[in-house]
């Protein structure tokens, strides 16, 4: 008997797979369609904090993510690396340091405490293993979406597989989780409003012979008008030896031309990194991409829904991209459960779509924009000109508590929304 899907998800990245897992745990049958025949590692998102921990817990994978991730608590903002003798550079001067959990009752190991650093490809592997083991899920690789049609009670996705054969998949609901270049978004007729930043962003995973700062603030934002960057360890720290880092930084389009890219990249590393010279490193992965501040006007069209990068894009500074996508998926799973299993009206999905649109518009977009601008527009010799850095440097507990409260507002509680709708109908 053919697999009868209740939800079809276009896109086998971490957001789409996470949504599938949450739905399967609710007893909902799901088909995931991924255009790539082989899933390759992506040098993109890596940090999970705050409300995402609880989403991972609801999906039953928090403990496994925690076991495989690097646990960090401290963030620092520093000047660019500086010369220390003829053959050495050291970390740039500390501007500000912040541990958001310092005054919290939470301890290491508690859900909600700290930053868990784990590449999104590793998260995808954890989720995929759960889906493969489930009778309620099928994941089909090498199926590229080429068409979408919708009726009153269902929607149909047309795909072409690696052999060139066209196939159709029909379900009551279809989800576009197919990334920033979403085909589903185009088929739904939705624009991606906003703008694109001028720089090309380089995300690199690199082994290099220096240690994170010894003040415990291992996650480093470099403030500099040219060489602004984000540097974070990816594995257990080896003080005094080589370490694996994720380093994300800008380069101009001219520097990214194939004929000069390798040389420009080497010069960039020489300027940014502390450590002995000549600098010794092993570049494991490197990926170029453009950064945007964009969002669709509507996450829901008929029985088709967008989540993650298919619905919104933001600068990576602050780790709010995949975070927002996972929270989209987490709350959408609850919304679909209310509709499919509990018989709630389709208006629940409209409430979900409006709520998630507001989260991006009112919080994610302005905060991620400020995070990026802080790193290259702030004068490193006058950091208190930035309100957030001023609050950190002056230990303004009221302002910093407001920052933490904002992070909690990234999540959407569908139970509260459903309760509110029920009370309004009395």
Checking if the pLDDT of 151 tops 90, the result is yes
pLDDT band at 40 (very low <50, low <70, confident <90, very high): confident
Cβ atoms of residues 29 and 137 within 8 Å: yes
Q: Return the closest-CA partner of residue 315 out of 190, 178, 183, 194.
A: 194
Checking if the pLDDT of 423 tops 80, the result is no
Question: What would the mean pLDDT of 148-158 be, rounded to a whole number?
Answer: 97
Q: Is the pTM of this model over 0.75?
A: yes
Cβ atoms of residues 329 and 308 within 8 Å: yes
The answer to whether domain 7-66+120-194+293-424 and domain 70-113+197-292 are alike in fold is: no
Specify the higher pLDDT residue, 63 or 85: 63
Write down the mean pLDDT value for the chain. Answer: 94
Question: What share of the chain has pLDDT > 90, as a percent?
Answer: 81
Question: What would the mean pLDDT of 263-292 be, rounded to a whole number?
Answer: 93
Question: What would the mean pLDDT of 350-379 be, rounded to a whole number?
Answer: 97
Checking if the pLDDT of 102 tops 90, the result is no
Q: Return the closest-CA partner of residue 412 out of 358, 340, 361.
A: 358
In degrees, rounded to 5, the angle at the alpha carbon of residue 425 between the alpha carbons of residues 423 and 426 is 70
pLDDT band at 19 (very low <50, low <70, confident <90, very high): very high
How is 321-371 classified by DSSP, letter by letter?
A: HHHHHHHHHHHHHHHHHHHHTT---THHHHHHHHHHHHHIIIIIHHHHHHH
Checking if the pLDDT of 289 tops 70, the result is yes
Checking 149-155 for CB contacts under 8 A at 24+ apart, the result is: 150/301, 150/302, 150/303, 150/304, 151/303, 153/303, 154/303, 155/8, 155/302, 155/303, 155/304
Cβ atoms of residues 349 and 300 within 8 Å: yes
pLDDT band at 371 (very low <50, low <70, confident <90, very high): very high
3-state SS class at 315: coil
Q: With the CA atoms of 285, 234, 329 and 99 taken in that order, what torsion angle do they form, in degrees rounded to the nearest 10? A: -140
Name residue 161's beta-bridge partners: 143
pLDDT band at 366 (very low <50, low <70, confident <90, very high): very high
**pLDDT tens track for 206-215:** 999 888 887 7
Checking if the pLDDT of 368 tops 80, the result is yes
Q: 3.30.9, 3.30.60, 2.60.40, 1.20.950: which CATH number matches 70-113+197-292? A: 3.30.9
Q: Return the closest-CA partner of residue 148 out of 295, 310, 349, 297.
A: 310
Question: What share of the chain has pLDDT > 70, as a percent?
Answer: 98
Instruction: Detail the DSSP E strand segments found in 151-280.
Output: 155-161, 166-171, 173-176, 193-208, 219-222, 229-233, 243-251, 275-276
* pLDDT for the residue numbered 39: 82
**pLDDT tens track for 394-416:** 999 999 988 888 888 899 999 99
* pLDDT for the residue numbered 43: 65
What's the rounded Cα separation, in Å, for the pair 84 and 72? 28
Task: Enter the tokens of residue 24.
Answer: 């399967």
* pLDDT for the residue numbered 216: 64
Cβ atoms of residues 8 and 116 within 8 Å: no
Beta strands 243-251; 193-208: pairing state: antiparallel
What's the rounded Cα separation, in Å, for the pair 55 and 59? 6
What's the rounded Cα separation, in Å, for the pair 115 and 423? 38
Question: What would the mean pLDDT of 181-207 be, rounded to a whole number?
Answer: 96
**pLDDT tens track for 234-260:** 988 888 888 999 999 999 999 999 999
What's the rounded Cα separation, in Å, for the pair 82 and 275? 10
Question: What would the mean pLDDT of 61-78 be, rounded to a whole number?
Answer: 94
**pLDDT tens track for 295-308:** 999 999 999 999 99
* pLDDT for the residue numbered 274: 93
pLDDT band at 426 (very low <50, low <70, confident <90, very high): low
What's the rounded Cα separation, in Å, for the pair 206 and 286? 8
**Sequence ranges of the domains in the chain:** 7-66+120-194+293-424, 70-113+197-292
Q: With the CA atoms of 50, 53, 58 and 64 taken in that order, what torsion angle do they form, in degrees rounded to the nearest 10? A: 180
How is 399-422 classified by DSSP, letter by letter?
A: HHHHHHHHHHTTS--HHHHHHHHH
* pLDDT for the residue numbered 378: 97
Point out the least confidently predicted range of 124-138, 207-221, 306-320. Answer: 207-221
7-66+120-194+293-424 has which fold? FAD/NAD(P)-binding domain (3.50.50)
């Amino acid at each position: 008997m053919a697999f009868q899907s209740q939800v079809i998800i276009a896109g086998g990245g971490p957001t789409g797979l996470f949504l599938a897992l949450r739905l399967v745990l609710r007893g909902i049958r799901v088909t995931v369609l991924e255009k790539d025949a082989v899933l390759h590692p992506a040098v993109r998102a890596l940090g999970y904090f705050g409300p995402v921990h609880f989403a991972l817990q609801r999906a039953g994978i928090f403990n496994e993510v925690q076991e495989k991730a690097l646990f960090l608590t401290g963030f620092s903002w520093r000047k660019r690396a500086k010369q220390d003798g003829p053959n050495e550079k050291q970390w740039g001067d500390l501007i500000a340091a912040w541990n958001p959990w310092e005054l919290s009752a939470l301890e290491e190991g508690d859900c909600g405490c700290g930053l868990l650093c784990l590449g999104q490809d590793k998260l995808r592997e954890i989720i995929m293993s759960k889906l493969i083991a489930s009778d309620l899920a099928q994941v089909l690789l090498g199926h590229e979406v080429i068409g979408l049609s919708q009726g009153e009670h269902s929607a149909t996705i047309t795909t072409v597989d690696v052999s060139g054969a066209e196939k159709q998949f029909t379900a009551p609901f279809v989800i576009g989780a197919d990334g920033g270049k979403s085909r589903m978004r185009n088929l739904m007729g939705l624009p991606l409003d906003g703008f694109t930043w001028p720089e090309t962003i380089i995300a690199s995973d690199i082994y290099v012979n220096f240690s994170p700062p010894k003040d415990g603030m291992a996650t480093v934002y470099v403030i500099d008008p040219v060489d602004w960057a984000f540097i974070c360890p990816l594995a257990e720290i080896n003080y005094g030896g080589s370490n694996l880092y994720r380093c994300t930084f800008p380069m101009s389009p001219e520097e990214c031309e194939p004929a000069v890219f390798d040389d420009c990249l080497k010069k960039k590393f020489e300027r940014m990194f502390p450590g002995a010279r000549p600098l010794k490193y092993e570049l494991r992965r490197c990926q170029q991409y453009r950064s945007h501040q964009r969002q669709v006007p509507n996450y829901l069209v008929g029985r088709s829904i967008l989540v993650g990068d298919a619905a919104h894009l933001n600068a990576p500074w602050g780790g709010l991209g995949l975070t927002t996508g996972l929270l989209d998926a987490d709350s959408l799973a609850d919304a679909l459960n209310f509709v499919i299993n509990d018989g709630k009206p389709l208006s629940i999905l409209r409430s979900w779509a409006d709520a998630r649109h507001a989260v991006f518009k009112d919080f994610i977009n302005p905060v991620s924009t400020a995070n990026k601008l802080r790193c290259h527009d702030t004068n490193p010799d006058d950091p208190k000109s930035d309100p957030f850095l001023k609050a950190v440097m002056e230990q303004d507990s009221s302002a910093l508590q407001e920052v933490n409260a904002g992070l909690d507002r990234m999540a959407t509680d569908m139970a509260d929304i459903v309760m509110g709708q029920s009370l309004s109908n009395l």
